Amino acid sequence: MQSRLKIYNSLSKVKENFEAINPPHVGMYVCGPTVYSDVHLGNVRTFLSFDIIYRYLMHLGFKVRYVRNITDVGHLTDDSDDGEDKIGKKARLENLEPMEIVQKYTNGFRKVMQQFNILEPSIEPSATGHILEQISLIEKLLENGLAYETGGSVYFDVNKYNEKHNYGKLSGRIIEDLIAGFRDLDGQDEKRNKADFALWKKAVKGHIMKWPSPWGIGFPGWHLECSVMSTKYLGDTFDIHGGGMDLKFPHHECEIAQCVGANGKDPVKYWIHTNMLTVNGQKMSKSLNNSFLPEELFSGNHSLLDQPYSPMTVRFFMLQSHYSSTLDFSNDALKAAAKGYKKLINGLSICHDLKYTSSEDETPSEQQQSQVDQIIANCYHAMNDDFNTARTIAQLFNLLKKINSISTGQLSGGQLGKEHFDKLIITFKTFVQDILGLLEEKPVDFESFLHILLEVYAEAKNNRQYDKVDEIRTRLKALGIVVKDMKDKIGWAYEE
């Protein structure tokens, strides 16, 4: 019997059976990137984790509307509502219009997502695309007495909210600690309470990204966009909200407060948070010089890297641990991942070539059949256990052993029977390609192979084996390559 999908809910802090609010539909919102710098590997891990969740939910037959936003305004350099807009600051440093910064890093983000074969979400809304909706939400909060305007800015009144609701229920923070713990910073005095957070900020002189509002010219607070865009596209209450664990507080806590305060409803049924990356056991950070960009990984061009690692090697590597565990980058682990990845891909190619054969006198072995059934059930069981890709991969290697046995003739198709044979092949392919999203990475420099062939050609020519010379020439011509016999060497060109 197939097991049921369970999800660890960061809100309830227990693993719960997954029950979609409105099956077969599932609404999932994930906090996307703030597009002011190159995407780093920690981001990649987060989006890869939700890519797996998206793929697996679709595999289970759910119709998933997956919303992942682009933060292109309002995210300040300082979490306590001070500092500069991250994008505005970068625009100043790079001497570009803020929207050029947004475009540049959004393009970079999309490219990296593509390299890792991370699927596009169903909707990718941007904060600047929803200013009016954000203003409407602020108006609702003001109406409900949960926000106050002061000096052209609007703040959320955390104490007032906490009278009827529970601010801190996601992150476990205690409001009294929050109030005591906040640093005293310029501009904080506008707030009634140090735990309050900005819904709308007045634009100071020189601020570029700004819009008119009922409270004057300004820009929305960072937490607002996600409340607005998630509920606009998924409804007041939706199934899944995800993000990196660093977003739990204050960002996600504030999202809940804003939605509950405006709509009176808890916005999210299941909260999912992904864990961090470490490098050789240390937190990945720019100041420790142990953080690298995807491009550096692919080129191997970084002092901590022994060699280049391909996107699919890194994808496989990340899937070898559960999303809620920390994941440690090391050369040894990546080299092992490269081997594991190639094993699975070679397995796909065996699946592709393998034909079912059975001799007349064969009858299926119940033991073999039940072994295959058991491994397949284990694959699902692992994924159903909060999307445990690490255990799923181990089970796929068990499936692969069976496939290899058939390929080498140790096990015959007839011993499994057609139905089990097909199930074995299809399950393996589906898990590797569709659920884990692993693609075959082909060598792109066909020239290396061509050069070996041209050497064989030259040798045959020297040995006056003209039949062979002609054959290679003809075969290459069929591939659009013309061999060019030159004075001192053998060249080639594309056929014109």
125-133, 178-186, 215-223, 260-268 -> range binding its own copies (CB under 8 A): 125-133
Q: Is the Cβ of residue 186 or residue 494 nearer to its own copies in the bound state?
A: 494
121 lines the binding site for its own copies (CB under 8 A): yes
For residue 214, state whether it binds its own copies (rule: CB under 8 A).
no
Q: Give DSSP secondary structure letters for 475-490.
A: HHHHTTEEEEE-SSSE
Q: Which amino acid is at 40?
A: H
CA–CA separation, 122 vs 119, rounded Å?
Answer: 9
- The pattern of x and - marking residues 424 through 453 that bind its own copies according to CB under 8 A reads ------------------xxxxxxxxx-xx
Measured between alpha carbons, how far is residue 80 from residues 75, 158, 202 in Å?
11, 14, 15
Angstrom distance (rounded) from CA 398 to CA 11: 35
Q: Is 495 in the site for its own copies (CB under 8 A)?
A: yes
Among 21, 58, 99, 208, binds its own copies (CB under 8 A): 99
Structure tokens at 451: 């050069």
- Single residue of 2, 12, 77, 107 touching its own copies by CB under 8 A: 107
Distance CA 452, CA 72 (A): 50
In degrees rounded to 5, what are phi and psi of residue 207? -70, 125
- 342 near its own copies, rule: CB under 8 A: yes
Site for its own copies in 456-475 (CB under 8 A): 456, 472, 475
The window from 1-9, 158-166, 343-351, 431-439 that contacts its own copies (CB under 8 A) reads 343-351
CA–CA distance, 461 with 395 (Å, rounded to integer): 52
* Residue ranges with strand state E in 83-228: 147-150, 153-156, 197-202, 218-220
Helix (H) or strand (E) holding 492: strand 490-494
Size of the site for its own copies (CB under 8 A): 51
How far is the first Cα of the chain from the last one, in angstroms, to the nearest whole number? 60
Binding part of the chain for its own copies, among 54-62, 123-131, 262-270, 394-402 by CB under 8 A, reads: 123-131
Q: Does the footprint of its own copies cover residue 401 (CB under 8 A)?
A: no
Q: Which of 169, 194, 343, 461 binds its own copies (CB under 8 A)?
A: 343
Q: Residue 189 or 447: which CB sits closer to its own copies? A: 447
Closest to its own copies by CB, 448 vs 462, is 448
- Examine residue 250 and say whether the peptide bond preceding it is cis (omega within 30 degrees of 0): yes
Q: Is 351 in the site for its own copies (CB under 8 A)?
A: no
Token pair for 242:
């995800």
Q: What residues line the site for its own copies (CB under 8 A)? A: 65, 97, 99-100, 102-103, 107, 110, 120-126, 128-129, 131-132, 136, 211-212, 233, 339, 342-343, 345-346, 349, 442-450, 452-453, 456, 472, 475-476, 479-481, 493-496
